[in-house]
Amino acid sequence: MKTKLRLAAVGAAAALTLAACATPPEETPTTPAASETSTDTETETSEPPSDVAEGFKPCIVSDAGGFDDKSFNQLSYEGLVKAAKELGIEHGEVQSTSDADFKNNLDSLLATDCTLITSVGFALSAATVEAANANPDIHYVLVDDAADNDFDGTKDAENIKPLLYDTAQAAFLAGYLAAGYSEAGKVGTFGGMPFPTVTIFMDGFKQGVEYYNEVKGTDVQVIGFEGGDKGSFTGGFEANQDARNVADGIIDQGVDVILPVGGPIYQSAIDSIADSGREIALIGVDADFFVTDPNTQDLVLTSILKQMDVSVYDAVMGAASGTFDAEAYVGTLENGGVGIAPLHNFEDKVDAELVAEVEQLKADIIAGTVTVTSYLNQ
């Protein structure tokens, strides 16, 4: 059955118990050189569990960020590797350095007898749909995209399982937290490119700030995003001078909290914060930056989490027995698919009353008494 979702294809635990947090990686993943296929040689493969389908081999292809991006590629990779190790089977992996690698990388995994292929990121959507339609007996998992490239509200290939995340809900909590934490009365955000999977963070963040203003009678401003696709964007997903210029422009307007959305572009924000000479808190995306990047530990207020490691792991484990569920998964606050990270080093800097309000706000969103809109529920 085709999944009917109106989606664009391009589209805590300790001090803040708001959502389940991403499991800290045991170590930074060791990955092959870009655009090279490999298998996990450390995995015992001689005696897989009896309930694993014969010949089952899960594989994964990254987008241009690579598996060590400290963000969504890394989390997805960790989820698949964990499943393969628990199953006692080989896995395949290949990294991309650019969009031009996608088709060849997907083909290379087929050549190594992969039976389930996970594509990480909306940028791989078109190539994954093409591969899935050409290989109907192979199962595909597509992270962060609905596989609806013709925008008709249905998947473009029956053998793809989309993994989607309503991160607007978690970003709403982060926006409310940021507004309450801000002393300047100005918080900022910017993104890589105005794709739905980017702006969903920015929009949820803005809604959270606006809700804080409504509840408190304040006027905390959001710098860098007006709504829709109107905002500050770097034009890509690299930590380069363009990202630095955008970060500088927002910080120069006096914000004391900043949310960069787009993989490595947060590193440019860190440089901008350092040169500003002011105390500016950073909000991470996808993974808990405090865990994945120690360089952020004195800066990161919280992170907006997408539990891609958990959902990829679940998809692989579910398919291992030979039964593949191709229905779309949507991560929410209620099912733990999204959330926000603990305050870590900011525990003593955030008022306990604000923490309690954010905890209650999470419960209200789950109960439906507070509504957060996104492209996933419109």
Q: What is the pLDDT of residues 9-46, one digit of tens each?
A: 333 333 343 333 333 333 333 334 434 444 443 444 44
Instruction: State how far Cα 312 lies from the chain centre.
Output: 12
| CATH 3.40.50.2300 segments of the chain | 37-165+309-331, 168-306+341-367
Identify the band that residue 323 occupies on the pLDDT scale cut at 50, 70 and 90: confident
pLDDT band at 6 (very low <50, low <70, confident <90, very high): very low
**Hunting for tokens 């804080």 — which residue is that?**
212
Residue 367: CB atoms within 10 A of its CB come to 9
Q: Span 282-307, mean pLDDT?
A: 95
CB 9 within 8 A of CB 149: yes
- The residue type found at 353 is E
What CA–CA distance (Å, rounded) separates 312 from 326?
Answer: 13
User: Mind listing the pLDDT tens digit for each residue in 347-357?
Assistant: 999 999 999 99
Higher pLDDT: 49 or 96? It is 96
How far apart CA 224 and CA 181 sit, in angstroms, is 18
> What are the strands, taking DSSP E only, across 232-295?
257-261, 281-286
Q: What percent of the chain has pLDDT over 70?
A: 87
Q: Which CATH superfamily is domain 37-165+309-331 in?
A: Response regulator (3.40.50.2300)
Determine the pLDDT at residue 24. Answer: 36
The amino acid that residue 219 corresponds to is: D
Angle, CA 144 vertex, CA 159 and CA 69 arms, to 5°: 120
List b or e across 319-341, with b for residues whose CB sees 16 or more CB atoms inside 10 angstroms.
bbeeebebebbbbbbeeebbbbb
Per-residue pLDDT tens digits for 55-108: 999 999 998 878 887 778 888 999 999 999 999 999 999 999 888 999 999 999
Which position has the token pair 């900022």?
A: 188
Token pair recorded at residue 343: 């305050």
CATH number of the 168-306+341-367 domain = 3.40.50.2300
> What pTM was estimated for this model as a whole?
0.83
